Amino acid sequence: MEKVLQFLKNTKILGIVGAILLIVGNFFTFATTKVLWIETSVKFIEGDGVFVLILGILALLIVFVDFILSKIPEGKLKFLFKLRNQKFVLVPAIISAIILFIDGRNAFDVGSAGLGFYLLLIGVITLIIYPFLFKEDK
């Protein structure tokens, strides 16, 4: 268990997994409802999922900011070098959590959760945990 925890602290795997789940979860069933023997389902991308998709891509870019910055010449885009702190991933994660909470509460008043909801939830939780667990090698 100690080796697994050390691996998670030294790599960006939690950030990558969380961002990918945030992106992929939009395309799965978010909620289902059954009215008069007719079952309907909705994918999150059909509603606010577009915003969460953009936030997931932004979170993935923040996780890989070191790699991206290594490709930019030293004198150009100096403001991007301030984004090296992995705690910036909390911004898209918390915004996604708020959107997920509001839409989930509205959807589950009349239906039940689908696979997409759980993928998004795990992605948000993983992204919120990631910056506190990750220790950058200096």
User: Rounded to the nearest 5 degrees, what angle is found at the Cα of 138, between the Cα atoms of 134 and 20?
Assistant: 35
Q: What is the pLDDT of residues 2-47, one digit of tens each?
A: 776 666 666 788 888 999 999 999 999 888 888 788 888 888 888 8
Domain definitions of the chain by residue range: 2-133
d(CA 89, CA 104): 22
User: Rounded to the nearest 5 degrees, what angle is found at the Cα of 28, between the Cα atoms of 100 and 46?
Assistant: 65
d(CA 123, CA 64): 17
Q: What is the pLDDT of residues 53-88, one digit of tens each?
A: 999 999 998 888 777 666 666 666 666 666 566 778
**Tokens at 99, concatenated:** 């959107």
User: At residue 118, does pLDDT exceed 70?
Assistant: yes
